[in-house]
Amino acid sequence: MKANYGYLDGSGEYFITIDTDLCIECAPHSCVAACPANLFEIIVDDYDDEVAAIKEEQRKKIKYACGPCKPVTDRPMLPCIAACTPGAVSHSW
């Protein structure tokens, strides 16, 4: 399942997509520790699979929470994407 966490508002679309089908097999769940804003958590989803998700209280402010990892110039690979070995995490902006 592709879970899109975030929102769209007048200024743009801000979604972090987690492909939970790739997440299921991932034991270290490195995304949780890698995110400096502490956005990720491991949950048991509706189908009883252990997968990564964006914390509920962070979902409406990811534009700002992710801001420090997204400088305008010389942007390195985002820590969450770099840490996710199955390649399950992507950002829309």
Partner 1 sequence: MAEKTKEYWRWKEYNWHDENADPKDAETITAGVDVGSVSSQAVVMLDGKLFAFSNMRTGSNSPDSARNAMNWALEGTGLTMDDLHYTVGTGYGRVNVPFADRAITEIACHARGGNTMYGSTVRTILDMGGQDCKAIRCDERGKVTNFLMNDKCAAGTGRGMEVFADLLSVPIEEVGDLSLDIDEEPPPVSSTCVVFAKSEASSLLREGWSKKRVLAAYCSAMAHRVVTLLERVGVEKDFAITGGIAKNSGVITRLEKELNLKALKSNYDTQIAGALGAALFGKALVEKQRKKSAV
Tally of CB atoms within 10 A around 92: 13
Q: How many residues bind partner 1 (CB under 8 A)?
A: 14
Q: Per CB under 8 A, does 7 bind partner 1?
A: yes
9 binds partner 1 (CB under 8 A): yes
Separation between Cα atoms, residue 83 and residue 33, nearest integer Å: 9
90 binds partner 1 (CB under 8 A): no
| DSSP state for residue 74 in the 8-state scheme | S
**CB nearer partner 1, residue 55 or residue 60:** 60
Calculated CA dihedral for residues 34, 40, 43, 47, nearest 10 degrees:
-100
Does 46 bind partner 1 (CB under 8 A)? Our answer is yes
Among 41, 55, 60, 86, binds partner 1 (CB under 8 A): 60
Neighbours of 74 (CB within 10 A): 5
Stretch near partner 1 under the rule CB under 8 A, chosen from 10-18, 27-35, 66-74, 79-87: 10-18
Cβ contacts of residue 12 below 8 Å, gap of 6+? 63, 93
* Comparison of 15 and 26: residue with beta carbon closer to partner 1: 15
